[in-house]
Amino acid sequence: MHTHMPMAPNVTPYRDRKRYAWILSLLVPASVCIGPAMMIATGDARTLWLPVAFFYVIAPLLDWMMGEDLSNPPESAVPALEADLYYRWITYLLVPVLWAAFVFGAWFVVHYEVPAHGMLAMVMITGSVGGFCINLGHELGHKNTQLERWLAKIVLAPTGYGHFYIEHNRGHHRDVATPIDPASSRMGESIYRFVLREMPGAFKRAWALETERLQRAGQAVWSLHNEILQPALITLTLWTLLTLWLGWQIVPFLVAASFWANFQLTLANYVEHYGLLRSERAPGKYEACQPHHSWNSNHIFSNWALFHLQRHSDHHAHPLRRYQSLRHFANLPRLPSGYFGMFTLTYIPPLWRYVMDERLLSVVGRDAARINIDPRQRAALIQRYGLQDSLAQAN
């Protein structure tokens, strides 16, 4: 008598369709050298604006034409996906690419006669390199391996923003989407007001957090145990070597390019949580961060260029999750464009408010109590938009 064993189901292994698209995360930052290279070849300084035009015009158009990707890897495939070293090697390789691009920008402005408009373009180009440094430091700094954590500090160093390693992981992720977070923008707050609150507030919080950690460990604050001073020393070494090599005239350029780089983080923070608010359960105690406390974007090109940074909702809910595994969730606050396009909107506050305020109000049910709102403009915004205020009504 023969028995028939049940056939195993024919399960097709998961294949990441975006596997090789992540190489764009290497190529897009490297493309900043195209403008200077073309000026070297042609002598025309107007070519320096090509990378700027790419980021502010071409990239948003590519996002619009390519649309959104709402696909997710199955959870059963995630362990293998996260263990695949191919994805890590892309982030590792980007570290020297970004360092080389930053140094190249500094070398170029000293060795070539650049007109004033070209110098402005070079500040923006080299600053964009620094912005990609912060984005990569963001991805690496959340990981548990010592190698990735040190690479995060190294890649944050060129623009002197190493405190982000502490501030973001231990400060922003704890306080995100609350009024006490300097890195969460408020409804009615322009990017120009936000930067004055965010940049100094982020450094103060980072220093306070690191001081507290070192004191608990019984270690001196002014020591090499300080994880803010570690990348700061790398910054000091790099800038000193560049100054010895290129001369003192490079210092103002480094300062300007670094400010523009660090302002790219300010732009991202402004876009990522605008007006969204976690509920306060008790004085100073807020509900756990959920995916709906971040603005999400699934626009294809900019996500490929930024290691899925725009799937920000899943990142905040699961910060250890690697970029290749980040997910789209339905019914989340969604941006109308990728970050490249949204950054442009922030520069014109009336246009930003026109695009974003009604989107925000539809997410929160037009209830001012559910909005992280600029206290200076609270009454005016409630009147302008005809909002209810359930908190005031309860009192």
Tokens coding 86? 């191919």
Identify whether 226 is part of a domain. yes
Identify whether 375 is part of a domain. no
Q: How confident is the model at residue 168 (pLDDT cuts 50, 70, 90)?
A: very high
Helix 250-272, helix 339-346: angle, nearest 10: 100
Identify whether 12 is part of a domain. no
Report the distance separating Cα 199 and Cα 194, nearest Å.
8
Statement: residue 8 has pLDDT above 50:
no
**The pLDDT value given to residue 5:** 45
The per-type count for the chain, helices as H runs and strands as E runs, is 19, 2
Identify whether 369 is part of a domain. no
Q: State pLDDT tens for residues 131-146.
A: 999 999 999 999 999 9
Statement: residue 148 has pLDDT above 50:
yes
- Across 31-58, average pLDDT: 94
**The pLDDT value given to residue 394:** 57
Statement: residue 9 has pLDDT above 70:
no
Tokens coding 339? 């970050």
Identify whether 294 is part of a domain. yes
3-state secondary structure of 20: helix
Identify whether 3 is part of a domain. no
3-state secondary structure of 284: coil
Report the distance separating Cα 378 and Cα 370, nearest Å.
12
The mean pLDDT of the chain is 93
Q: State pLDDT tens for residues 227-255.
A: 999 999 999 999 999 999 999 999 999 99
**The pLDDT value given to residue 331:** 87
**The pLDDT value given to residue 339:** 96
Identify whether 385 is part of a domain. no
**The pLDDT value given to residue 391:** 67
For the chain, give the percent of residues with pLDDT over 70. 96
Q: State pLDDT tens for residues 184-195.
A: 999 999 999 999
Statement: residue 7 has pLDDT above 70:
no
**The pLDDT value given to residue 2:** 46
- Across 197-219, average pLDDT: 97
Identify whether 175 is part of a domain. yes
Statement: residue 218 has pLDDT above 60:
yes
Q: Which of 27-31, 41-45, 168-172, 307-311 has the lowest mean pLDDT?
A: 27-31
Q: Which of 2-16, 251-265, 303-317 has the lowest mean pLDDT?
A: 2-16
**The pLDDT value given to residue 392:** 62
> How many other CB atoms are there within 10 angstroms of residue 327's CB atom?
20
Statement: residue 15 has pLDDT above 90:
no
Report the distance separating Cα 302 and Cα 62, nearest Å.
8
Q: Which domain holds residue 279?
A: 20-68+76-364
Statement: residue 204 has pLDDT above 50:
yes
Instruction: Say which residue, 284 or 40, is predicted with more confidence.
Output: 40
Report the distance separating Cα 10 and Cα 155, nearest Å.
45
Asked whether the beta carbons of 135 and 306 are under 8 A apart, the reply is yes
Q: State pLDDT tens for residues 68-98.
A: 999 999 999 999 999 999 999 999 999 999 9
Asked whether the beta carbons of 231 and 154 are under 8 A apart, the reply is yes
Statement: residue 284 has pLDDT above 90:
no
Domains identified in the chain, total number: 1
Q: What is the DSSP string of 86-155?
A: HHHHHHHHHHHHHHHHHHHHHHHHHHS---HHHHHHHHHHHHHHHHHHHHHHHHHHTSSSHHHHHHHHHH
pTM of the model: 0.93
